[in-house]
Amino acid sequence: MRLVILLLLSLLGGTAYAQQSPTYVVYFQEWSAAFDNPALSVIAEAAGWAKTHPDMIVQVVGSADPTGSRAANILLSELRAQVVVDQLAADGVNSQRIAQTGQGSVQFALTAQESRRVTVTFGTH
């Protein structure tokens, strides 16, 4: 099952929202860096938020599940991060504002699907 989950902080208004930025998570299939339509929607939402907050840096971190070699998982996590960066740029985010990294394999709580992700967060300069 393809899972793409958009995680937004539940802070809806006022100063609390201004102090917190959302986290967007795109999940991938095993050994894949391909998007499905829900993934594109999540990335478009992240791009929209980034464009309305031009003073913030966009941080993109790719991950992989523990299956496979360390080297392969680092490369896959970097590729996943890169395709999300490319899509954010295509959706109008200035690539100079984006910092990316691939962290290789990460552990998961329930299913390996949780590890096959790219997380998009926001920070200050």
Residues 70-117 have pLDDT tens digits of 999 999 999 999 999 999 999 999 999 999 999 999 999 899 999 999
CA distances from 1 to 29, 36, 57, 63, 106 (A): 8, 11, 32, 19, 20
For residues 47 and 40, what is the distance between their CA atoms, to the nearest angstrom? 10
Q: Is residue 77 part of a domain?
A: yes
CATH number at residue 112: 3.30.1330.60
Give the pLDDT confidence score for residue 109 in this predicted structure.
Answer: 87
CA distances from 84 to 6, 14, 19, 27, 94 (A): 14, 30, 25, 11, 13
Q: Is residue 72 part of a domain?
A: yes
Q: Is the pLDDT of residue 6 over 90?
A: no
| Strand, coil or helix: 104 | strand
Residue 122 has phi, psi (to 5 degrees) of: -130, 140
Residue 1 half-sphere exposure, CB side, CA atoms within 13 Å? Answer: 5
- Region 42-67: mean pLDDT is 97
- What range does the domain containing 119 cover? 56-125
Give the pLDDT confidence score for residue 95 in this predicted structure.
Answer: 95
Structural domain total, the chain: 1
